[in-house]
Amino acid sequence: MGRAPMGRAPMRQPPDAPGILSGVLAGLAGGYLASLAGWPLPWMIGSLLGVALARCAGLATTPLPAGRQAGQWLVASAVGLHVSREAALALLHHLPLLLAGAVATLLLTLIGIAVLRRGGVDPATAFFASLPGGASEMVNLARRHQAQPAQVAAAHSLRLLLVLLLVPALFGWGLPRLPALSAPHPDWPALALLLPAGLLAALLWRRLGQANPWMLGPLLLCAIASASLDLQLALPGGLGQLGQWLLGCALGAHFDRAFFRRAPDFIVRVLIFSLLAMLAAAGLGALLGLLAGGHGRALMLGSMPGGITELGLTAASLQLSVALVSAQQLLRLLLVMLLAEPLYLGWRRLASQRSRRD
């Protein structure tokens, strides 16, 4: 009695319409107020804060179904279309230096490991919480190595929030602003081909089991098309803002009162090592800019422990080289995906050998 008949699929839960509406309204309010205040990336940062504050106030909000994927698709497409042929040639010219910089940014993981280990965090959790990689991939590796997945997810979510709140503001307000460039007009027939093609690339990337399909698929396709054909395209403003808003609402759903009440010492240590890593990344980017003979601001931005989508969009809004910023982030992501587990296993093997000698 009470068992579902054989052969019948379990019933799906109906969408939480009131929760979705609350999230939509909170995100719209936050994005609109941030745009009035003149914030950088207002519809992403404002909607993130709006949803997060609503959840911290006890308001039940539910993310839009597939909202994060749709937001990544639109934002990644916008970032990819900013990659011009000239920027792609500069990227190829500086590729060895960018690869060296991506390896150097991996060393920033040592800051997080040191800070978290002093707080009594176990080695696996400290390692995967400190790597500048995607949260979902690091959580999967944390589960595989008996770490604390909730703490790893919290560390990556909090660091992303910190980067989104500080980095665009510092680069937009704390440094000299460049003269505004005239934005290219949207070419609707070309966009009608590229946007669905980017969606298909995301689905193919996901089918192949690759990391971050909804961001890397559209970004790479649009960047290759824009650079090789010298398209000079851009998404219309409303479509780009829609992508920012969808992504910001999805990110804000990670935060509530329980998140900030959970292990306050751990959260403080995550904030400390995130700030230290950002300072170290800024110094590294400045050094790369000197070695490259220019592009100092773009290389500083690309060295930050954020994500390709968020920092690429920041670069586009500040008229910096989107190609250099995205390339730094992409190279680092690939290195993290390839080396995270071997590096962890090697570190634990060395620690085990040292403890046996002692």
User: To 5 degrees, how large is the angle CA 100–CA 279–CA 149?
Assistant: 80
**pLDDT tens per residue, range 110-126:** 899 999 999 889 999 99
pLDDT band at 4 (very low <50, low <70, confident <90, very high): very low
Among the listed residues 337, 304, 331, 341, the one whose alpha carbon sits nearest the alpha carbon of residue 103:
331
Tell me, what's the pLDDT at 193? 92
Percentage of residues in the chain with pLDDT exceeding 70? 90
Distance, CA of 167 to chain centre: 13
Contact 116, 273 (CB under 8 A): yes
Spatial contact of 211 and 134, defined as CB atoms under 8 Å apart: yes
DSSP secondary structure code for residue 131 in this structure: S
The predicted-structure confidence for 328-338, as pLDDT tens digits, reads as follows: 887 887 788 77
How many angstroms separate the most distant Cα atoms in the chain? 75
* Cα separations in angstroms, 90 against 82, 87, 218, 267, 298: 14, 5, 21, 39, 12
pLDDT for position 29 = 95
Flag the least confident range among 22-31, 239-248, 288-297.
Answer: 288-297
Q: Quote the pLDDT of residue 28.
A: 94
Q: Is the pLDDT of residue 358 over 70?
A: no
Q: Give the C-alpha separation, 218 to 28, whole Å.
A: 25
- Write down the pLDDT at residue 181: 45
Q: Which of 86-95, 152-161, 178-187, 302-311 has the lowest mean pLDDT?
A: 178-187
Compare 227 and 11 and report the one with higher pLDDT: 227
Q: What is the per-residue DSSP string for 153-180?
A: HHHHHHHHHHHHHHHHHHHHHSSPPPPP
Spatial distance between the Cα atoms of 201 and 189, rounded to a whole number of angstroms: 19
Task: With beta carbons less than 8 A apart as the criterion, state whether 27 and 252 touch.
Answer: yes
Report the pLDDT value the prediction gives residue 182, as an integer from 0 to 100.
47
**Average pLDDT value for the chain:** 82
Residue 173 scores a pLDDT above 90: no
Rounding to the nearest 10 degrees, give the CA dihedral for residues 279, 163, 220, 320. Answer: -60
What are the two backbone dihedrals, phi and then psi, of residue 319, each rounded to the nearest 5 degrees? 60, 40
Closest Cα to residue 153, out of 144, 166, 142? Answer: 142
Q: For residue 127, what pLDDT is reported?
A: 92
Cβ-proximal residues to 146 (8 Å cutoff; 6+ apart), any chain: 124
